[in-house]
Structure 1
């Protein structure tokens, strides 16, 4: 992965804040505590998806040619003092994909889509695009679900997580996370809850 260009650096503090979103009860259905410990994917020995970010991007883009992800570029994670490698892919001025990778193996700990709401005439269209990417990320891991069912499921998660710094629900070996920081951004994440989870 190449170093992030200047165009990606502007929202990095926001992305890092959202990437390090914390959870009080990682394995519970949800958490709305104000006293939030470390996010589960940051804990030692946290599980990974059994693939690299390059492998994910290739498979994802093949399955979603209308919602492509550009190359992920490494970003400086020294601000949060995490040993994980962080990377982001710019989709638009208000939409980013990001990840945290296991040191050494490069396997994926979390995959995230972050929308930065900017008021204006394009806000609704930008929100629709963000939700389309979030739905596509969900369907990548649950390919037997129809687009309609996946969008409905996403809307349920976003509704339940509205206004929450961290909200999670598990489904099989997956954890879906919503981090709603209002005007600072909305993040949807998919994480494994089983060691070295193999994806379809």
Structure 2
């Protein structure tokens, strides 16, 4: 029973809780953008989740991500496979994968805030995972610069249920839901050819 409740909470936190992940918001009076990775023809990273984990864990042995587990949601009409990995009680990694190829549409790290003496260390660990994810996709930057860029993104997205910033072929997304959590996502974008 506890495992089922945990799975339900995890699914809600990772994919329904960030408003941009819901293709049909429940409250139509509050227009939220549809997550770009849910749109037809959205791009994928050229790797599977197993390939990502192997490369990420090799580059970040102190911040490992365990195996992702598929999340079964019979109501999901997005035609994506969703999966998550529990890092600890308040930190999760998640993904949405293209059916058939298993290629990654989005990678997310979600931190669920906790109260009390462990709050600061839990927050710092969450930021370390988020910065490592950013650095994975921009390996030329230092850990310090990745942390600065992440903090800049978080500050820009503070209080926003959806904030995105495009850099080259990547979209960085912040979903700040205050006491309910913070999600950082990295997604590929489709590059358009410039016309003369």
Normalising by structure 2, what TM-score? 0.87
1:77·1:85 contact (CA, 8 Å) conserved in 2?
no
Q: Which residue matches 2:40?
A: 44
Q: Which residue matches 1:91?
A: 87
Q: Secondary structure of 2:46's partner?
A: strand
1:41·1:109 contact (CA, 8 Å) conserved in 2?
yes
Q: Which residue matches 1:16?
A: 15
Q: Which residue matches 1:165?
A: 161
Q: Secondary structure of 1:132's partner?
A: helix
Q: Which residue matches 1:129?
A: 125
TM-aligned CA distance change 1:153 to 1:190, over 3 Å: same
Q: Distance in 1 between matches of 2:118 and 2:83?
A: 27
Q: How far is the alpha carbon of 1:76 from its aligned partner? A: 1.9
Equivalent positions of 1:50-65 (< 5 A) are 50-65=46-61
Q: Which residue matches 2:26?
A: none
Q: How far is the alpha carbon of 1:8 from its aligned partner? A: 4.6
Structure 1 residues 112-166: Cα deviation after superposition (integer angstroms, max 9, x where no partner): 0000002111111100000000000000000000111110000000001011000
Count of equivalent residues:
182
Match of 1:144 among 125, 140, 152: 140
Structure 1 residues 154-190: Cα deviation after superposition (integer angstroms, max 9, x where no partner): 0000001011000000110000000011111100000
Q: Which residue matches 1:118?
A: 114
Higher RCO (Cα < 8 Å, 6 or more apart)? 1
The runs of at least 4 consecutive aligned structure 1 residues that moved more than 4 Å come to: 5-8
Task: State the structure with more CA Rg.
Answer: 2
Q: How far is the alpha carbon of 1:20 from its aligned partner? A: 5.8
Q: Which residue matches 1:69?
A: 65
Q: Distance in 2 between matches of 1:111 and 1:58?
A: 14
Q: Distance in 1 between matches of 2:82 and 2:173?
A: 18
Q: How far is the alpha carbon of 1:194 from its aligned partner? A: 2.7
- Structure 2: gaps (5+ residues): 23-29, 192-196
Q: Secondary structure of 2:20's partner?
A: coil
- The RMSD of aligned alpha carbons is 1.9
Q: Secondary structure of 1:155's partner?
A: helix
Q: Secondary structure of 1:144's partner?
A: coil
- Structure 1: gaps (5+ residues): 24-33, 196-200
Query: Is 1:185 aligned with 2:184?
Result: no
